[in-house]
Amino acid sequence: MPLSRPFRFSAGPAALLAGLCMAQTAWADATPTTQVLSSSQQGKASSSPRKLPPHSPDWGVFNAGKGAAAGFGTVGGFGQARWAEDWSDIVNTPPEKRKSDWFNRLKHISLTDKGDIWLSINGEERLRYIFENQPMMGAAGKTNASRVLLRNMYGADLHIGEHVRAYAEFLWGVAGGSNYYGYQAGTQRERLDLQQGILEVKGNLLGAKMGVMGGRQVFLDAPVSMQSARDLTNVQQTWDGFRGYAVWKSFRLDIFDFMQTNKLPRNVFADGTNYNARMYGIYTSTALPTFSVMNQKSQLFADVFFIGYLFNGAPAAIPTMTGTQAGSTRRDNAGARFWGNVGPFDISLTGVFQGGEFRPAANQGATRPVRAYAVNGSFGWTAKSLKAKPSIALQADLFSGGSYHSKDGAVGTFATPYFPLPYYNDVTLALTSQNLIGVGPVVTAAPFANLHLKLHVPVFWRESTQDAVYGTGKIYSYRNNLSGGFLGVTPQTQVAWNFAPHWTWTHDIAGFLASQGMHHAGARDGAFYMQTMEFKF
């Protein structure tokens, strides 16, 4: 029967666990479970797509990809968004198994005799160390930068019957180090504040599982090449607004309208809403009929979506021949994705057309249309019969570029203002998904159940040699002194070890090897090392 003892929660565990995490840090912007998924694995269908992941709601066929197909991120015990977990299954766990983990008593705390109102507590302590000898290809103005990041994040999920749920999550982020940079942006240092706070009303209607979620929340129902939870930093990206979802047997629908949370204030409980950054749209996914290939069950999904962006300030600026032009922009992203597994092969193909307009600040020029696009694909094979289940894939991406010579023509640079998944292309953040072509292999393996390895070696070019080079939140100054389109190579590898229940120790090693043209323009080769110790329950 469910646990009914009262529970008193304090900030004491945060300080205790921070002291235990002395081995420093590193975890990914991918699924925070027992492994970090490669970019080709993000949201891929497994050979048994209807198998329910641990502590996940039953979304039927949309439980594929550890639940990512449902649009709420992955859930493999723990979720990318912690409210995506469903711990109601723990009441049916045999008592001896439930008692084997002390933290299970926090996962289903009955508040009534009938157990229809219950509370689930979650928490995370993450200590991370990052070293970069030439951050941002030398453009950060720092050499041998060391950053130490500590994140304390705790949440409570209150279930009131079957149809109402309230979730609150609180975060405190601390950052230090030597020769560090980027702390003024509000993504690393955060006084105690409400990270997420939602009210959900849900039920069964018209043959579907439907719900409406309002408040501050992480949103993950978008291609990882365009948007992520920004989990590489201490402070995740959250949104203020609402989403409505409906999941039928083979079709789902998600409608949303958000304003970005303003993370710049430094005071306790001072985060507000950034009304200059809006995201809205609709995402649909259709599960195609299953079939078998090479005696393996196969499942494909066809997604169609529209995602609108409205933003201004530094993210909206476009390059000119001598600098940048400030303004505001609307970006209309109409796209489709075809993905899943065909026997032992995993495939994903995404295409996005980006329209809209760019309005120069202070009426310094004419309003310009936007005509940009992106094409992303991966094809992989997994040897599931081998113990380590090695997987090899080829990932290729194209994000269109424009021309900094143009003053009144269409803007051709694909915009990704809301942080693509860093592990998708470049964990160092030196390059981002704008004016970029990337091609490279992705190799993963799990020689042991608690040890996971990944290698990704992308080679990068500019899509347009008339456009600038873009980093995460940065337009580099390289212009007419940069010749050729070849940018360089960014080999990156990762080792993730779940050495004990709830504990993960991850190492990321990467480097940027610049092309001759980039060297002549002033870019420098760089090395990147990130270590993460994470405790999560």
Segment 311-327, tens digit of pLDDT: 999 999 999 999 999 99
- pLDDT surpassing 80 at residue 9: no
Q: Is the pLDDT of residue 515 over 70?
A: yes
Collapsed DSSP state (helix, strand, coil) of residue 239 = strand
Q: What is the distance between the alpha carbons of residues 223 and 214, in angstroms, rounded to a whole number?
A: 22
Neighbours of 152 (CB within 10 A): 22
- Strands (E) across 313-371 are located at 318-319, 324-325, 327-342, 345-360, 368-369
Is residue 358 within 8 A of residue 397, CB to CB? The reply is no
20 φ/ψ angles, rounded to the nearest 5 degrees: -75, -25
User: What proportion of the chain, given as a percentage, has pLDDT over 90?
Assistant: 82
Cα–Cα dist 262/186, whole Å: 9
Average confidence (pLDDT) over 345-361: 97
Return the SS3 of 12: helix
Per-residue b or e along 505-519, where b marks 16 or more CB atoms closer than 10 Å to that residue's CB = bbebebbbebbebbe
Per-residue tokens: 393: 């894939």
Give yes or no for residue 420 having a pLDDT over 50: yes
Q: Given this model, what pLDDT does residue 275 score?
A: 93
| CB-based contact 55:91 (threshold 8 Å) | no
23 pLDDT higher than 70 = no
d(CA 419, CA 263): 15
- Mapping DSSP to helix (H, G, I), strand (E, B) and coil, where does residue 50 land? coil
Q: How far, in Å, CA of 449 to CA of 49, rounded?
A: 20
DSSP-assigned states of every residue in 383-447: -TTSTT--EEEEEEEEE----TT-SSS-B-----TT---HHHH-TT-SS-SSSEEEEEEEEEEEE
- State yes or no: pLDDT of 2 exceeds 80: no
CA 481 – CA 468 distance, rounded (Å): 11
Q: What pLDDT is attached to residue 51?
A: 60
User: Exposed, middle or buried: residue 275 (CB in 10 Å: 0-12, 13-18, 19+)?
Assistant: exposed
Provide the sign of the torsion angle of the four alpha carbons 269, 176, 151, 6, taken in this order. Answer: negative
Burial class (CB in 10 A: 0-12, 13-18, 19+), 174: middle
Is pLDDT above 70 for 403? yes
Q: What is the pLDDT of residue 97?
A: 85
In 3D, which of 262, 243, 261 has the Cα closest to residue 253? 243
Residue 293 host element (H or E): strand 291-293
Tell me what the mean pLDDT of segment 375-389 comes to.
95
The tens digit of pLDDT for each residue in 157-192 reads: 999 999 999 999 999 999 999 999 989 888 999 999
Residue-level pLDDT at 77: 83
Q: Write down the pLDDT at residue 48.
A: 41
Residue 459 in this model has a pLDDT that exceeds 80: yes
Q: What element of type H or E holds 96? A: helix 95-98
pLDDT band at 12 (very low <50, low <70, confident <90, very high): very low
Q: Which of 520, 411, 399 is nearest to 460 (CA)?
A: 399
**In contact, 63 and 317? CB cutoff 8 Å:** no
Identify the residue whose tokens are 């001598």. Answer: 322
Q: Over pLDDT 70: what percentage of the chain?
A: 91
Helices and strands (H, E) in the chain, number of each type: 4, 29
Better-scored residue on pLDDT, 308 or 90? 308
The answer to whether residue 89 scores a pLDDT higher than 50 is yes
Other CB atoms within a 10 A radius of the CB of residue 165 amount to 20
Amino acid of residue 241: G
Q: What's the whole-number average pLDDT of the chain?
A: 90
User: How long is the chain?
Assistant: 537
pLDDT digits (tens, 9 = 90+) for 96-114: 888 899 999 999 999 999 9
The pLDDT score that the predictor gives to residue 45 is: 44
Of 141, 170, 171, which is closest to residue 156 (Cα–Cα)? Answer: 170
Mean pLDDT over 120-145 rounds to 96
- State the pLDDT at residue 363: 83
The reported pLDDT for the residue numbered 218 is: 97
- Residue 363 phi/psi, 5-degree rounding, is 55, 35
d(CA 217, CA 279): 13
Please compute the mean of the pLDDT values over residues 227-246 and round it to a whole number. 96
Mapped onto helix, strand or coil, the DSSP state of residue 101 is coil
| First-residue to last-residue Cα distance in the chain | 21
Model pTM score? 0.88
The residue written with tokens 């993460």 in the block is 532
User: 366 pLDDT exceeds 80?
Assistant: yes
Distance CA 307, CA 258 (A): 11
Is the Cβ–Cβ distance between 199 and 214 less than 8 Å?
yes
Distance CA 69, CA 80 (A): 13
Task: Return the residue matching tokens 């995404």.
Answer: 350
| 91 and 1 Cβ atoms separated by less than 8 Å | yes
Between 248 and 18, the higher pLDDT residue: 248
pLDDT at 25 over 60: no
Average pLDDT over residues 356-385: 95
Q: Which helix (H) or strand (E) holds 97?
A: helix 95-98
